[in-house]
Amino acid sequence: MAFEQNDLSGALFQNGEKKSVKHPDYSGSCKIGGVDYWVSAWDKISAGGKEYISLAFKVKEAKPAAEAPPTAAEKPTPAQPAANGKAEQKMQPKTGSKFDDMADDIPF
């Protein structure tokens, strides 16, 4: 049987692979209100010299299944909108620029 975290409980473990000051000193997980969280903790010292532990929580999200790359039929074409809902546009040269009156031929 797999371990099931009880609500309003969690555990932290010392981070033996800390390579940067930004990496947590401790990490683990907890469950609050039926939601699973990752927990990170850092040993800190306040401006007054008092030691404390700073905590950060991040919701555990289900890892998405590995998606296959889109097939040729699924790829958007210039006439079809892209995934963000906007049609792809090609770069167009600016018109009305102050340099439009310059000749295309370079004399040298």
Q: Report pLDDT digits (tens) over 6-63.
A: 999 999 999 999 999 899 999 999 999 999 999 999 999 999 999 999 999 999 997 7
Distance CA 20, CA 8 (A): 30
pLDDT of the residue at 73: 57
- How many other C-beta atoms are found inside a 10 Å radius of the C-beta of residue 70? 10
Q: Which amino acid is at 42?
A: W
Q: Which residues contact 57 (CB under 8 A, 6 or more apart)?
A: 30, 37, 38, 39
Q: Where are the domains of the chain?
A: 9-59
Summarize pLDDT for 68-78 with one digit per residue, the tens. 566 555 555 55
> Which of the four pLDDT bands, split at 50, 70 and 90, describes residue 81?
low
pTM above 0.85, yes or no: no
